[in-house]
């Protein structure tokens, strides 16, 4: 069944959802093959499909719509009956006719019969071995997580085990699973702090250097771990690992072309910028050799210069020279303009200073490693695999992909930092730290400006840092302390409410015989 996806303004589209059904005027035409009623899809960023809409009728453009996609020119009116929120990737849908890249620019025709919804892994049908393991667990009145059942089933199939052997494997798995569980009232925070803090003292102060490339260093070890738990706005050495799509990841020439497009090239990298004080002009002397090496044309340079917002700016071309003059020149304006011209971005993506192509022998593919990070711009590039591409800038991941992605980045970056120096920490301790940093929906530091500073207990906050400030503020606001945590109970000399201290014993007097 022929259908379509269109790109829309999020704010504008969300306004109409409460008032459905509505007549919605759009500025595109549809082929005659598309007949109502039908399903269509809406995307806000061109990459992910956000809404599935049910179109009852397609009306001619002379019908007055209640809402407009744009007021520039209505081509037809869609009678939208209802809409449902969905989450799909445009890449999962094959467009009809010529492929339009990986994004929806305005309108994309699709065949929805060729793009059935993908069934999540957790809803798939169980195989015979998994059914057998579930049966054994049910007969014992016990349960295990699905991931462990899948692992047991695959091992049992691999070694062709009999029924009594499968039962023994399940019993042993249950024992190990119960051993790994946390006891009630266990001090998980203290254990996690010790488990990460002790190996952290063995981390060295070091950086990683890309061989043969000047000025490309990546902070590792202890400074990197501190950056992660402090939730720094920008890491000291932001870097990206860019994965390429399957069609080009083994083509060195195409990968290098993408790397050149990514690497930011400023005017000073391809030309000399000179100030002529006597004539009050700025002369740009282009270096043809550097330009050809970086695949830059003169027209690109001129286009970049036209973006400078200065009143009365005139640009004159003379072979390899470009002369800039101001209508009302002054020394200060001329100097400021020359500095702006030197740092003007001619090509590439803002924030990415270097892009290095490296062949990974183990995976048999080329990857691009960058100095600098701009995740949003990179994910929108054709040829880049957005499912694998990542950055070490956790706050940027949070802004672009959301808090769940940021939580996973905290876990991955912490484990990678520790494992690089041969240190192993159980992932659950790091997961607890990541959960504490992100459970409020934002990424917060472990410190007085984040998690520690937001504790409910007044005494715990006062014990951490700046005692008088916390006590004074609590007195002014009339706060109370329930003495439920560790620090506050130690301060007042009570047993802490963890482990055996969390259990209250009640003695029942024996009844007197009459």
Q: Which of 180, 213, 229 is the last residue of a domain?
A: 180
Residue-wise pLDDT tens digits, 436-445: 999 989 999 9
* 336 vs 330: CA distance, rounded Å: 10
* 179 vs 455: CA distance, rounded Å: 31
pLDDT (average), residues 291-310? 78
**Residues 6 or more apart whose Cβ sits within 8 Å of residue 438:** 403, 404, 406, 407, 410, 444
pLDDT (average), residues 487-512? 84
pLDDT confidence tier of residue 116, bands split at 50, 70 and 90: very low
Q: Which of 347, 377, 397 is the last residue of a domain?
A: 347
User: How many other β-carbons are positioned within 10 Å of the β-carbon of residue 413?
Assistant: 23
Dihedrals φ, ψ of 219, to 5°? -70, 130
Residue 171 has pLDDT above 90, yes or no: yes
pLDDT at residue 243, rounded to an integer: 93
User: How many other β-carbons are positioned within 10 Å of the β-carbon of residue 483?
Assistant: 15
Torsion angle, CA of 481/485/491/497, rounded to 10 degrees? Answer: 120
Element (H, E) at 169: helix 163-180
Q: Does residue 225 form part of some domain?
A: no
Please state, rounded to an integer, the average pLDDT across all residues of the chain: 83
Query: Which is it for strands 265-266 and 239-243: parallel, antiparallel or unpaired?
Result: unpaired
Joined tokens for residue 266 = 């400023």
Domain count of the fold of the chain = 4
Q: Does residue 136 form part of some domain?
A: yes
Q: Which of 82, 114, 146 is the last residue of a domain?
A: 114
Residue-wise pLDDT tens digits, 261-288: 888 888 888 888 878 777 777 788 888 8
Which range has the worst mean pLDDT, 99-113, 231-245, 281-295, 447-461?
Answer: 99-113
Q: Does residue 256 form part of some domain?
A: no
Same domain for 94 and 137, yes or no, is no
**Residue 372, Ramachandran bin (φ over 0: left; ψ between -120 and 50: alpha; else beta):** left
pLDDT at residue 513, rounded to an integer: 73
Residue-wise pLDDT tens digits, 350-397: 888 888 888 888 888 999 998 889 999 999 888 889 899 999 999 999
* 351 vs 400: CA distance, rounded Å: 15
Residue-wise pLDDT tens digits, 23-69: 888 888 888 888 888 889 998 888 888 888 999 888 888 888 888 88
User: Is residue 462 a contact partner of residue 481, using CB atoms and an 8 Å limit?
Assistant: no
Give the position of tokens 């499968």. 166
pLDDT confidence tier of residue 207, bands split at 50, 70 and 90: low
pLDDT confidence tier of residue 210, bands split at 50, 70 and 90: low
Dihedrals φ, ψ of 173, to 5°? -65, -40
Same domain for 106 and 129, yes or no, is no
User: Is residue 491 a contact partner of residue 470, using CB atoms and an 8 Å limit?
Assistant: no
Same domain for 143 and 172, yes or no, is yes
From the DSSP assignment, how many helices (H) and strands (E) are in the chain?
A: 18, 19
Domain extent for 327: 265-347
pLDDT confidence tier of residue 152, bands split at 50, 70 and 90: very high
DSSP letters for 186-229: --HHHHHHHHHHHHHTT--EEEEE-TT-TT-EEEEHHHHHHHHH
* 130 vs 156: CA distance, rounded Å: 10
Same domain for 34 and 132, yes or no, is no
Q: What percentage of the chain reaches a pLDDT higher than 70?
A: 92
CATH number of the domain residue 464 falls in: 1.10.150.390
The CA radius of gyration of the chain, in Å to the nearest whole number, is 31
Query: Which is it for strands 239-243 and 365-371: parallel, antiparallel or unpaired?
Result: antiparallel
CATH number of the domain residue 60 falls in: 2.30.130
User: How many other β-carbons are positioned within 10 Å of the β-carbon of residue 267?
Assistant: 21
pLDDT confidence tier of residue 115, bands split at 50, 70 and 90: very low
Q: Does residue 202 form part of some domain?
A: no
Q: Does residue 244 form part of some domain?
A: no
Q: Does residue 422 form part of some domain?
A: no
CATH number of the domain residue 279 falls in: 3.30.1360.140
Reference 86, options 39, 122, 121, 124; nearest CA is 39
Residue 167 has pLDDT above 60, yes or no: yes
Q: Does residue 255 form part of some domain?
A: no
Q: Does residue 391 form part of some domain?
A: no
Collapsed DSSP state (helix, strand, coil) of residue 508: coil
Same domain for 61 and 149, yes or no, is no
* 429 vs 194: CA distance, rounded Å: 9
* 222 vs 227: CA distance, rounded Å: 9
Residue-wise pLDDT tens digits, 119-142: 455 556 788 899 999 999 999 999
Same domain for 98 and 140, yes or no, is no
pTM over 0.85: no
pLDDT (average), residues 470-496? 86
Residue-wise pLDDT tens digits, 402-435: 999 999 999 999 999 998 888 889 999 999 999 9
pLDDT (average), residues 155-163? 90
The half-sphere exposure of 300 on its side-chain side, counting CA atoms within 13 A, is: 18
- Residues 88-126 as b/e (b if ≥16 CB within 10 A, e otherwise) read bebeebebbeeeeebbbeeebbbebeeeeeeeeeeeeee
Reference 18, options 66, 70, 75; nearest CA is 66
* 82 vs 16: CA distance, rounded Å: 10
pLDDT (average), residues 218-237? 88
Per the model's pLDDT, the better-predicted residue between 514 and 450 turns out to be 450
């Amino acid at each position: 069944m022929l259908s379509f996806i269109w790109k829309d303004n999020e704010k504008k589209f969300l306004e109409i959802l409460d008032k459905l059904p509505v007549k919605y005027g759009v500025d595109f035409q549809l082929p005659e093959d598309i007949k109502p009623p039908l399903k269509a899809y809406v995307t806000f960023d061109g990459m992910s499909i956000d809404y599935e809409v049910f179109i009852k009728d397609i009306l001619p453009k002379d019908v007055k719509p209640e809402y407009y996609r744009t007021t520039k020119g209505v081509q037809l009116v869609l009678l939208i009956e209802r809409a449902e929120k969905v989450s799909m990737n445009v890449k999962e849908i094959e467009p009809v006719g010529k492929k339009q890249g990986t994004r929806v620019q305005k309108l994309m025709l699709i065949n929805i019969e060729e793009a059935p919804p993908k069934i999540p892994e957790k809803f798939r049908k169980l195989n015979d071995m998994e059914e057998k393991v579930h049966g054994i667990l049910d007969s014992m009145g016990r349960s295990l997580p699905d991931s462990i059942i899948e692992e047991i089933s695959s091992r049992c199939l691999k070694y062709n085990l009999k029924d009594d052997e499968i039962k023994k494997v399940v019993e042993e798995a249950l024992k190990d699973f119960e051993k790994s569980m946390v006891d009630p009232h266990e001090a998980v925070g203290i254990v996690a702090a010790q488990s990460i803090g002790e190996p952290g003292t063995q981390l060295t102060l070091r950086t990683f250097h890309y061989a043969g490339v000047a000025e490309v260093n990546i902070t590792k070890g202890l400074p990197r771990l501190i950056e992660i738990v402090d939730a720094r706005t920008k890491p000291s050495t932001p870097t990206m690992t860019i994965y390429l799509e399957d069609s080009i990841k083994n083509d060195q020439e195409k990968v290098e072309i993408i790397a050149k497009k990514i690497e930011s090239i400023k005017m000073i990298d391809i030309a000399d910028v000179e100030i002529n004080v006597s004539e009050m002009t700025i002369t740009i002397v282009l270096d043809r050799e550097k330009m050809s090496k970086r695949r830059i044309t003169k027209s690109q340079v001129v286009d970049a210069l036209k973006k400078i917002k200065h009143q009365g700016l005139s640009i004159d071309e003379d072979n390899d020279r470009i002369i800039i003059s101001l209508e009302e020149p002054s020394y200060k304006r001329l100097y400021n303009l020359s500095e702006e011209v030197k740092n003007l971005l001619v090509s590439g993506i803002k924030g990415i200073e270097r892009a290095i192509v490296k062949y990974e022998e183990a995976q048999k593919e080329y990857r691009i490693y960058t100095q600098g990070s701009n995740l949003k711009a990179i994910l929108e590039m054709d040829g880049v695999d957005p499912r694998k591409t990542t950055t070490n800038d956790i706050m940027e991941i949070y802004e672009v992909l959301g808090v769940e992605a940021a939580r996973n980045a905290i876990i991955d970056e912490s484990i990678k930092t520790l494992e690089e120096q041969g240190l192993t920490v159980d992932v659950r301790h790091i997961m607890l730290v990541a959960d504490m940093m992100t459970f409020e929906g934002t990424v917060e530091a472990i410190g007085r400006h984040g998690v520690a500073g937001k504790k409910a207990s007044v005494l715990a906050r006062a014990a951490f840092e700046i005692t008088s400030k916390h006590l004074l503020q609590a007195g002014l606001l009339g706060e109370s302390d329930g003495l439920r945590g560790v620090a506050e109970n130690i301060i007042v000399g009570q047993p802490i409410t963890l482990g055996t201290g969390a259990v209250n014993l009640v003695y029942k007097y024996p009844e007197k015989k009459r």
